Amino acid sequence: MPLVYLGLGANLGDSAGTIRAAFQHLEALLGEARLSRLWRSRARYVVDQPDFVNAVACGLTDSSPRELLRSVNAIEADFGRDRGKEGAKGPRPLDIDILLYDDRLVVEPDLIIPHPGLAERKFVLLPLLELAPDLVHPATGELLLAIVESLPPQGIYLMPAPRYDLLYI
């Protein structure tokens, strides 16, 4: 079965609770499911919105990439996401992105794997590397650890933040 990595993010309501509850739904879809720790991140594209809580889940699936997309979109809807009413990159109760699907490359009008923002987003890379520190970007062959090390600071903190970091947030 293919190993998949999914990025989870939320910034409306009880975001941490939403991520944990969404993972329970994902456990029904994924064999041997695991969840990274939770990370808090500043909004990157539309900055006038609450911070996000992010995590990465991984597990084995017997779903095709298209079937998996339908399943994660249904979970998002269960948590109140209405893609038709929200602004691009704006606040949302839950976002689930397919980051990696084994080492497959998928390019379709509404589904691109690896996720096109993967190599620029520490809020995805840090929890992803927590689960699999030796991952390689399937399109470029670069170690994801090397990619994350090349990125500038982006305001990403473990939750709860260590006491030292709380002094500087």
Which residue numbers are catalytic?
81, 92, 95, 97
Determine contact, residues 66/50, Cβ cutoff 8 Å. Answer: no
Residue labelled with tokens 């933040």: 161
Secondary structure class of 36 (helix, strand, coil): coil
Structure tokens at 14: 């009880």
**Alpha-carbon distance 38 to 23, whole Å?**
12
Mark 9-29 as b/e (b = at least 16 C-beta within 10 Å): bbbbeebeebbeebbebbeeb
Map 122-133 to HEC letters: HHHHHHHHHHCC
Q: For residue 153, which of 44, 49, 48, 46 has the smallest C-alpha distance?
A: 44
